Amino acid sequence: MLELRDVYGGYGEGFVLNGLSLTVEEGQVVGLLGRNGAGKTTTMRAIMGLLPRLAGEIRLRGESLIGLPPYVISSKGLALVPQGRRIFPSLTVTENLLLGARPPRPDQRVRWTVEEIYRLFPILKERGKIRGTLLSGGEQQMLTIARSLMTQPLVLLCDEPSEGLAPVMVQRVGEILQRLKQAGLSILLAEQNLDLALSVIDVAYIIEEGRVIWHGSAQELLANRDLQETYLGLRVEV
Amino acid sequence: MPVNTASLVIGLSYASLLFLVSVGLSVVFGLMRFVNLATGSLYLIGGYIGWSVARSTGNFFLALIAGALAALVVGVLIERGFLQRLHRKELLQVCLTLGVAYIVQDVTRWIWGGDPLRLRPPELLRGSMELFGSVVPIYRVALIGIGALLAVLVWYLLERTKWGAYVRAGVDDLEMVQCLGINARRVFAIVFSLGALLCGLGGALGTPVTGVAPGTDIQLQLMALIVVVLGGLGSVTGAIVASIVVALVDTIVRTFWPEASFFAVWALAALVLIVRPQGLLGRAA
């Protein structure tokens, strides 16, 4: 579905991504793991067309995305749930939700209507008229996910969705990701919270200094304590 | 203080013109961080073209349309010509648009001469009327009405339509807007063109009251910058409020200490910058 091969990219001098390769199959949830500064957000930005310097291959269903502006990449079927949520403060909840809404593609497996979104996130209907940033942190996270779904993505790029949230909301985010997975959506998930990541991902890529240093199934990662401690600096609480 | 209905009418009619010049500047600045110092020139072009068309056709309404369209054409040329290439290069934008302002002033001086030109208001709006015990020019009152109508229209367009939501979201977070599939450059080009159109319309509408001459552009440009600073970047409501405040302060100070009026509005801008740097209705960056 989505394939990155030998991607180099950065902002100015030097590269942040140093030959990164990964694949997201249709319906798969792929974990992008690594320490702070390993290049997770930069990978997301590279896919979305937001890096000033970019080389290598990025393909969605075989079609190259390199050099396309972000709004075209969005129309091809990628949606970013950005780190820090980035709700538009001047817009109401409803305006935020519908800003990028478009009709589903004919060949799209997982489609989203406003009714479905409201069923999944009832709070967005109840509080539709208030400014988006007046929602709580957890509610804003729901809004940013919902806003991305309205663009009818083939692959959802989820950057640190649990960051800065209370434990109960982290759990809620986990449930939502689970629901999206069950619906059959392909997801690339960058996440510091290993518990949350392992609860939903099928396969994982661990990256460091902008390249993949390990990849394998979620079960392999779960079983490998050394890997967790050495490259992620944390381990799953038992 | 010598504040009466007449000075209020003069102030508010001036506010209408200021709003037309500054609203585009404010939204464009807020949206793309693009500084257009040729905003006053668009007003000037609207004024001169309006004057010529009114002279040759005798139709004031036609003059308004021609003035607005002329500014639109020049605005589109500026946007297509170099704005698109100078994204995020503020220093180059300032230099280039200032250069355009000088060129426009010289070319218009060459065509229309250096003397101030004035237009008579259309027949229907000539003369004076009595308002709350004062005698005021009908055209000024009409200007207030037109300004208020356009302010409501612009406000509705930006605050209540989907297209306006693109613009407001772009002012908040341009990158995120593009990630949601919106072509921000196109939104910007449309906003810029509409802003130019309003500047030109302002120029044509203003010719009966401010006249048009080399220097009108600079005067309006400076006033518009103050309005933007005062109102806050990218805020239509801010532009409306600030236009009224600046125009009233200017008019009122002018009636009892004419030399100080320009100083007063700048002092006001400085004060706002110290106390509330984001402007009256702007958000902290």
CB-CB under 8 Å, B178 with A79: no
Contacts of B283 in chain A (CB under 8 A): 89-90
Are A82 and A131 contacting, i.e. CB atoms less than 8 angstroms apart? no
CB nearest A71 (choices: B169, B172, B178)? B178
Q: What is the pLDDT of residue B185?
A: 87
Q: What is the pLDDT of residue B2?
A: 52
What is the rounded distance in angstroms from the CA atom of residue B53 to the CA atom of residue B74? 17
Expressed as residue numbers, the domain containing B95 is 5-214
> Within a domain: residue A238?
no
> Within a domain: residue B190?
yes
Contacts of A65 in chain B (CB under 8 A): none
What is the rounded distance in angstroms from the CA atom of residue B12 to the CA atom of residue B268? 18
What is the rounded distance in angstroms from the CA atom of residue B22 to the CA atom of residue B168? 17
pLDDT one-digit tens code per residue, A72-98: 999 999 999 999 999 999 999 999 999
Q: Chain A: give the shortest CA distance to residue B29, in Å.
A: 16
What is the rounded distance in angstroms from the CA atom of residue B84 to the CA atom of residue B183? 13
> Within a domain: residue B79?
yes
Q: What is the pLDDT of residue B1?
A: 44
**DSSP secondary structure string, A104-137?**
PPTT-SS---HHHHHHH-HHHHHTTTSBGGGS-H
CA distances from A98 to A6, A24, A128, A211, B180 (A): 35, 27, 11, 36, 10
> Within a domain: residue B270?
no
> Within a domain: residue A38?
yes
CB nearest B283 (choices: A79, A89, A148)? A89
Q: Chain B: give the shortest CA distance to residue A228, in Å.
A: 33
What is the rounded distance in angstroms from the CA atom of residue B257 to the CA atom of residue B262? 10
Overall number of domains in chain B: 1
> Within a domain: residue A237?
no
Percent of chain B with pLDDT over 90: 58
Residues of A with CB under 8 A from a CB of B: 48, 50, 69-71, 74-75, 79-80, 82, 86, 88-91, 95-96, 98-100, 102, 147-148, 151
Nearest to B152 by CA among B163, B142, B162, B144: B144
CB pairs under 8 A between A and B: 63
Q: If you average pLDDT over residues B206-232, what whole number do you get?
A: 92
The confidence band for B197, taking pLDDT boundaries of 50, 70 and 90, is very high
The confidence band for B129, taking pLDDT boundaries of 50, 70 and 90, is confident
At residue B272, does pLDDT exceed 70?
yes
- Among the listed ranges A59-63, A109-113, B175-179, which one has the minimum average pLDDT value? A109-113
What is the rounded distance in angstroms from the CA atom of residue A108 to the CA atom of residue A230? 40
Interface check B182 vs A, CB under 8 A:
yes
What is the rounded distance in angstroms from the CA atom of residue B37 to the CA atom of residue B156? 27
What is the rounded distance in angstroms from the CA atom of residue B129 to the CA atom of residue B94? 44
At residue B262, does pLDDT exceed 60?
yes
Contacts of A102 in chain B (CB under 8 A): 181
Q: What single-letter DSSP state applies at residue B87?
A: T
What is the rounded distance in angstroms from the CA atom of residue A117 to the CA atom of residue A93? 13
ipTM of this predicted complex? 0.90
> Within a domain: residue B255?
no
Contacts of B177 in chain A (CB under 8 A): 88, 99
Instruction: Count the Cβ atoms, other than its own, within 10 Å of residue A85.
Output: 25
Output the CA torsion sign for B188, B190, B196, B199: negative
CB-CB under 8 Å, A75 with B173: no
SS3 readout for B95-141:
HHHHHHHHHHHHHHHHHHCCCCECCCCCHHHCCEEEECCEEEEHHHH
What is the rounded distance in angstroms from the CA atom of residue A85 to the CA atom of residue A149? 14
CB-CB under 8 Å, B181 with A74: yes
pLDDT one-digit tens code per residue, A122-153: 999 999 999 999 988 999 999 999 999 999 99
Report the residue of chain A nearest B160, measured CA to CA: A95
Please identify which residue in the block is written with the tokens 């909840």: A93
Average pLDDT, chain B: 90
Q: What is the pLDDT of residue A110?
A: 84
Are B192 and B26 contacting, i.e. CB atoms less than 8 angstroms apart? no
Q: What single-letter DSSP state applies at residue A194?
A: H
pLDDT one-digit tens code per residue, B225-244: 999 989 988 888 999 999 99
Strand A203-208 and strand A211-217: the pairing is antiparallel
Q: What is the pLDDT of residue A235?
A: 52
Q: What is the pLDDT of residue A210?
A: 92
> Within a domain: residue B207?
yes
At residue B210, does pLDDT exceed 90?
no
Report the residue of chain A nearest B235, measured CA to CA: A90
- Higher pLDDT: B33 or B23? It is B23
Q: What is the pLDDT of residue B261?
A: 81
Q: What is the CATH number of the domain that holds A186?
A: 3.40.50.300
At residue B284, does pLDDT exceed 80?
no
- Higher pLDDT: B275 or A71? It is A71
Expressed as residue numbers, the domain containing A46 is 2-232
Contacts of B162 in chain A (CB under 8 A): 98
CB-CB under 8 Å, B166 with A50: no
Interface check B155 vs A, CB under 8 A:
no
Are B17 and B210 contacting, i.e. CB atoms less than 8 angstroms apart? yes
Contacts of B166 in chain A (CB under 8 A): 99
What is the rounded distance in angstroms from the CA atom of residue B152 to the CA atom of residue B149? 5
pLDDT one-digit tens code per residue, A8-26: 999 888 899 999 999 999 9
Q: What is the pLDDT of residue A106?
A: 84
Are A227 and A207 contacting, i.e. CB atoms less than 8 angstroms apart? no
Nearest to A150 by CA among A185, A188, A104: A104
- Higher pLDDT: B279 or B104? It is B104
Q: If you average pLDDT over residues A112-122, what whole number do you get?
A: 92
Q: What is the pLDDT of residue A228?
A: 83
pLDDT one-digit tens code per residue, A167-218: 999 999 999 999 999 999 999 999 988 889 999 999 999 999 999 999 999 9
Overall number of domains in chain A: 1
Q: What are phi and psi of A231, to 5 degrees?
A: -105, -20
A230 CB contacts (<8 Å, ≥6 apart)? none
> Within a domain: residue B152?
yes
> Within a domain: residue B280?
no
Highest mean pLDDT among B62-66, B127-131, B135-139: B62-66
Give the bridge partners for A17, in sequence order: A9
CB nearest A71 (choices: B169, B171, B182)? B182
Q: If you average pLDDT over residues A106-126, what whole number do you get?
A: 89
Are A185 and A110 contacting, i.e. CB atoms less than 8 angstroms apart? yes
CB-CB under 8 Å, B181 with A82: no
Interface check B284 vs A, CB under 8 A:
no
CB-CB under 8 Å, A82 with B180: no
Q: What is the pLDDT of residue A238?
A: 47
pLDDT one-digit tens code per residue, B32-81: 788 889 999 999 999 999 999 999 999 999 999 999 999 999 999 998 88
Q: What is the pLDDT of residue A234?
A: 61
CB-CB under 8 Å, B181 with A90: no
Q: What is the pLDDT of residue B208?
A: 93
CB-CB under 8 Å, B162 with A89: no
